[in-house]
Amino acid sequence: MKRMQLIYNPHSGKGSFETHLHECIDIFRDAGYETQAHRTVAPGDIELCVAGLPKDYYDAIAVSGGDGTLNIAVNAMIRHGLNIPLLIIPTGTANDFASALKIPKDIKEAAALINNAPAHYDAGVVNGRHFLNVCAAGFLADISQTVNKELKNSLGNLAYYLTGLSKLTNLTPIRVRVTNSQSSFEEDIYLFLALNSTGIGGFSRLSPGASVCDGLFDFIVVKAVSLLELGFILVKLLAGEHINDSNIIFFQDSYAKIEPLFDGVSCLNTDIDGEAGPQLPIVIENRRHALRVFAPENQLR
């Protein structure tokens, strides 16, 4: 028998995973895996769990939770040299990275991907911390952190939209310098995004042409504009029709540096995969094919 470590967040989404726990373990057993399960109970215990795993003992690791849980687990795996394939069971609200990989939302169907071959996917690193889906700064960047948990559980992705609308009355432009591998520019902005996949937090069409395995990020910068103009931009963001808007700066690259050109502390923090990220300035780099993930047949590469 091969060996698998399962880590699951019992509070992700509506807490549905635990009702399917034994069924998942049976699926893993039928695929030839003996499973050790770890139920997260407090901040920091995923790190402790991964740090305590013996090297060269486990053949795979499974993570059930949302984008934040997945981010914490992957960072712990990389820090502690756990270079084994990852099985993702998406049980959060948005599950942006899992959606980009076309991983089923059905828990048992996602668990059954253990029977498939792992594929290689990109990851990002910002100031030493890895991310899978997005690094963001500015207006809307912290939606995943601030959205009410009960609202998120009851309304799903709609909770992200409602939280975003509540922030429209408290906009603060930030002036930054953005440098990529080809050029540099300075701009007053409301939002900066480095995307590995097509969307975040329910905004699923932010970058329709993005790929999680091309070695590039899709960078989207929303310029500081009037409230009326911003309303039009948000409508275009939802429809995926914003890339050619004159108030949007879009480019693809494997590298970008974002430096603050303002005084004060507001809007200095970033968000990475729904978790609080490092303060500006930041350097973002793409680590092509850094992860091996059990994937659907149509995603194998």
Q: What is the mean pLDDT of residues 111-136?
A: 95
Q: 2-115 has which fold? A: Rossmann fold (3.40.50)
State percent of the chain over pLDDT 90. 60
In the predicted model, is pLDDT for residue 68 greater than 80? yes
Exactly one of 34, 109, 150, 275 is catalytic; which is it?
A: 275
Q: Is pLDDT at 209 greater than 90 in this prediction?
A: no
pLDDT tens digits along 12-34: 877 789 999 999 999 999 999 99
- Asked whether the predicted pLDDT for residue 252 surpasses 80, the reply is yes
CA atoms of 229 and 144, how far apart (whole Å): 24
| Angstrom distance (rounded) from CA 164 to CA 158 | 10
> What is the band of 169 on the pLDDT scale with cuts at 50, 70, 90?
low
- Give the H or E element holding residue 222: strand 217-223
Residue 282's closest CA among 264, 299, 300, 268?
268
Domain boundaries, the chain: 2-115, 131-288
For the chain, give the number of residues: 301
Looking at residue 58, what is its pLDDT?
A: 97
pTM of the model: 0.85
Q: What's the CA gap between 254 and 271, in Å, rounded?
A: 19
Residues 257-290: b if buried by 16+ CB within 10 A, e if exposed: bbebeeeeeebebbbbbbbebbebebebbbeeeb
The alpha-carbon radius of gyration of the chain (Å, integer) is 19
- Res 218 pLDDT > 50: yes
Active site residue 275: yes
Mean pLDDT, the chain, rounded, equals 86
Q: Would you say residue 160 has pLDDT above 80?
A: no
By three-state DSSP, how is residue 138 classified? Answer: strand
For residue 157, the model assigns a pLDDT of 44
Give burial (CB, 10 Å; 0-12/13-18/19+) of 165.
Answer: exposed
Report, as an integer, the average pLDDT of 257-271: 75
Q: What's the angle, vertex CA 137, arms to CA 135 and CA 142, rounded to 5?
A: 85
| pLDDT of 69 above 90 | yes
Residues 217 and 172: their CA atoms lie apart, in Å, by 25
Q: How confident is the model at residue 74 (pLDDT cuts 50, 70, 90)?
A: very high
For residues 206-227, average pLDDT: 90
Beta pairing class for 86-90 and 60-65: parallel
Name the helix (H) or strand (E) containing 82: none
Confidence at 148, pLDDT banded by 50, 70, 90: very low
**Residues 89, 63 contacting (CB under 8 angstroms):** yes
- DSSP string across 150-184: HHHHHHTTHHHHHHHHHTGGG---EEEEEEESS-E
What's the average model confidence in pLDDT over 234-243?
82
**Average of pLDDT values for 21-48?**
96
* DSSP classification of residue 140: T
pLDDT band at 198 (very low <50, low <70, confident <90, very high): confident
Nearest to 3 by CA among 59, 87, 55: 59
- The predicted pLDDT at position 268 comes to 62
Average pLDDT over residues 161-187: 77
Number of C-beta neighbours around residue 200 at 10 A: 27
Place 159 in a pLDDT band, splitting at 50, 70 and 90: very low
Which CATH architecture is the domain 131-288 placed in? Sandwich (2.60)
